């Protein structure tokens, strides 16, 4: 239970708290961008608690977009797929490290820098002015629907 509580607080409750604190300071044209995960759509059994919190963030993103749209605030999310970070070799062993991301249609894991464009696009009041309530997948081709 302690692990599940920690995952819930860090991955879901914190998004609510930060949003609640930020909204009074946001002006028309502002954007909130949450980070979710491919795990929300294609959950792995060993991390199902994590996957469930990311699915909750997806739902929260859509709900907030509906709630804040009348204030001119857009709310979206980015769902990374397998992204190569120091977490991967630190939590995986041998073959699983070598095969990380190989199951994507692009056949490889993404790099952290490959996420940037999605966040920049969603933050742009010009390019994404009519984008709200959606999740952009940066997943190497794995579907986020």
| Antiparallel, parallel or unpaired: β 31-35 and 74-80 | parallel
Is 53 part of a structural domain of the chain? yes
pTM of full prediction above 0.75: yes
Is 145 part of a structural domain of the chain? no
- Specify which residues 137 forms β-bridges with: 79
Is 87 part of a structural domain of the chain? yes
Long-range contacts at 99-105 (CB < 8 A, ≥ 24 apart): 101/140, 104/139, 104/140, 104/141, 104/142, 105/140, 105/141, 105/142
Q: State residue 49 phi and psi, 5-degree precision.
A: -65, -45
What pLDDT digit, counting tens, does each position of 28-69 carry? 999 999 999 999 999 999 999 999 999 999 999 999 999 999
Domain around 39: 2-138
Is 50 part of a structural domain of the chain? yes
Is 92 part of a structural domain of the chain? yes
Domains identified in the chain, total number: 1
Q: State residue 139 phi and psi, 5-degree precision.
A: -125, 5
Is 143 part of a structural domain of the chain? no
Active site residue ranges: 50
Q: Report d(CA 140, CA 114) in Å as an integer.
A: 10
Predicted local confidence at residue 1, as pLDDT: 67
Instruction: Give the CATH number of the domain where residue 84 resides.
Output: 3.40.50.720
Is 63 part of a structural domain of the chain? yes
Residue 119: pLDDT over 90: yes
């Amino acid at each position: 239970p302690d692990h599940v509580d920690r995952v819930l607080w860090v991955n879901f409750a914190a998004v609510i708290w930060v949003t609640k604190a930020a909204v009074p300071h946001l002006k028309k044209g502002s954007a909130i961008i949450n980070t979710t995960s491919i795990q929300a759509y294609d959950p792995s059994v060993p991390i199902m608690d994590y996957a469930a919190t990311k699915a909750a963030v997806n739902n929260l993103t859509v709900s907030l977009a509906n709630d804040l749209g009348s204030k001119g605030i857009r709310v979206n999310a980015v769902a990374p797929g397998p992204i190569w970070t120091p977490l991967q070799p630190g939590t995986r062993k041998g073959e699983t490290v070598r095969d990380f991301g190989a199951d994507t249609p692009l056949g490889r894991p993404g790099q952290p820098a490959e996420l940037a464009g999605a966040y920049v696009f969603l933050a742009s009041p010009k390019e994404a002015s009519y984008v709200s309530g959606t999740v952009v997948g940066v997943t190497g081709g794995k579907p986020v629907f």
